[in-house]
Structure 1
Amino acid sequence: MSGFKTTLISCQQCGRRIMVRAADTERGSITCSHVGCGAVNILQKPFHYDETIVQGLPLFGQLTYLGSPETQYPLQFGDNVIGTSDTCTVQVARFVHNGRCFISRRHCTLTVVFDKWTGQLRYQLQDGTVDLAMHSVQSSLNGTQLNGTSLQKTEIVDVDNEGIITLGGVDRFRLTHFSIPAAMLDTYKIELDFNPDRTQ
């Protein structure tokens, strides 16, 4: 293991410093050499997942309208602008209640990103849309709620699987995550160099 530098870690049992050598790292553990201790410290090799995995995914989750008729809207990777305009990524119908539609033309943004540490997709919700020309966020007229709580302007929140997004205080949508299978994830695992601060 050329180029390996010896390093010090704190023993998980006695807290005193012990030296980690190349052989310890290859073995994956080190025994504390201090008198009266002898604890075996597991050396955890950190890893993350390669983002190119998203190129082979069949789906990226979906929104289901909980009114009548129940309608499903597939999501794409990246920004999903939701609203009634035909310029939206997710164009929803103009649901009318007492003669009014409460969903804005470009109501909110649901961004699907890949978390390289967990190997799963994350879903981040923001009221309104980003206006690139003006470098600002254009909020919706009637607001966006997640599980009954209103989003503040410029607030971005993670949406859990089966989370309920309400547009305009009236129309409800359920988010269904797409879960990446473990067998697929294993082929995209990238081992990183040993980090002495990440003992198990």
Structure 2
Amino acid sequence: MGLNGFKLTLINCQSCGRRIMVRAADAERGSIRCTHVGCGAENALQTTLHYDDAIVKGLPEFGYLTYLGEPKVTYPLQFGPNVIGTSESCTIKVERFIHEGRCFISRRHCTLTVTFDQWSGKLRYQIQDGTREDNSPEVRYSLNGTYLNDSRLQKMELIDLNHEGVVTLGGVDRFRLTHYFIPPAMLNTYRVELAFNPDRTE
């Protein structure tokens, strides 16, 4: 243990690979020069941080889906899995949109999951065809498929959905996703700086 309680740490030099000792002054400066003869390389030290996931409890919304046909309908998302379909048991119950006498959306069609990425401080949106039934690991897939950018999702495929990405249910009914972006001022109040990590150097 060094001065002021800083724990002296050994890291591998990014240039020569030999061990060098990081002192408190090096950590504060954010870099350390290798002291081995013939090297002298400057090693950047990376401080790690993340954001406390308790932030999600205070968010006013989690984004929404907008139906791109008529009538325009907006469906707010919740944190966690959002089961989308025409059934009353769905998190997001959509209308039975009829095309030439048929509805192409299954009763429990797909799942859009909203999570929080503690490293980037952003909400993450992932979609997959089908849904899991309560207390069962088995996935039941939609009859007519789920499409992202005109490509049909494969079974068991979990895809990130970008802001303003368009999902097509059953190959016919299109929905645009609008992300919720956490305000930077709010995000900063949940910032957690971690102790210097010797395994994370640039």
Q: What do residues 140-189 of structure 1 show as CA deviations (whole Å, max 9, x unaligned)? A: 11110111111111211111111110000100001111111222111111
Partner residue in 1 for 2:115: 113
Amino acid at match of 2:149: N
Distance 1:146 1:174, change over 3 A: same
Q: What do residues 67-125 of structure 1 show as CA deviations (whole Å, max 9, x unaligned)? A: 01111111010111101111111111000000000001111000000001110000010
Q: SS state of the match for residue 69, structure 2? A: coil
Distance in 1 between residues matched to 2:40 and 2:59, nearest whole Å: 47
Partner residue in 2 for 1:95: 97
Would you say the 8 A contact 1:9–1:20 is kept in 2? no
| Correspondence for 2:5 among 2, 7, 14 | 2
Distance in 2 between residues matched to 1:90 and 1:190, nearest whole Å: 34
TM-score normalised by the chain length of structure 1: 0.91
Would you say the 8 A contact 2:10–2:19 is kept in 1? no
Partner residue in 2 for 1:49: 51
- 1:86 pairs with 2:109: no
**Structure 1 runs not aligned, ≥5 long:** none
Would you say the 8 A contact 1:83–1:108 is kept in 2? yes
TM-score normalised by the chain length of structure 2: 0.90
Cα drift, residue 193 of structure 1? 1.9
What CA RMSD, in Å, does the superposition of the two structures yield over aligned residues?
1.8
Partner residue in 1 for 2:66: 64
Would you say the 8 A contact 1:11–1:18 is kept in 2? no
- 1:183 pairs with 2:177: no
Partner residue in 2 for 1:127: 129
Aligned identity (percent) is 65
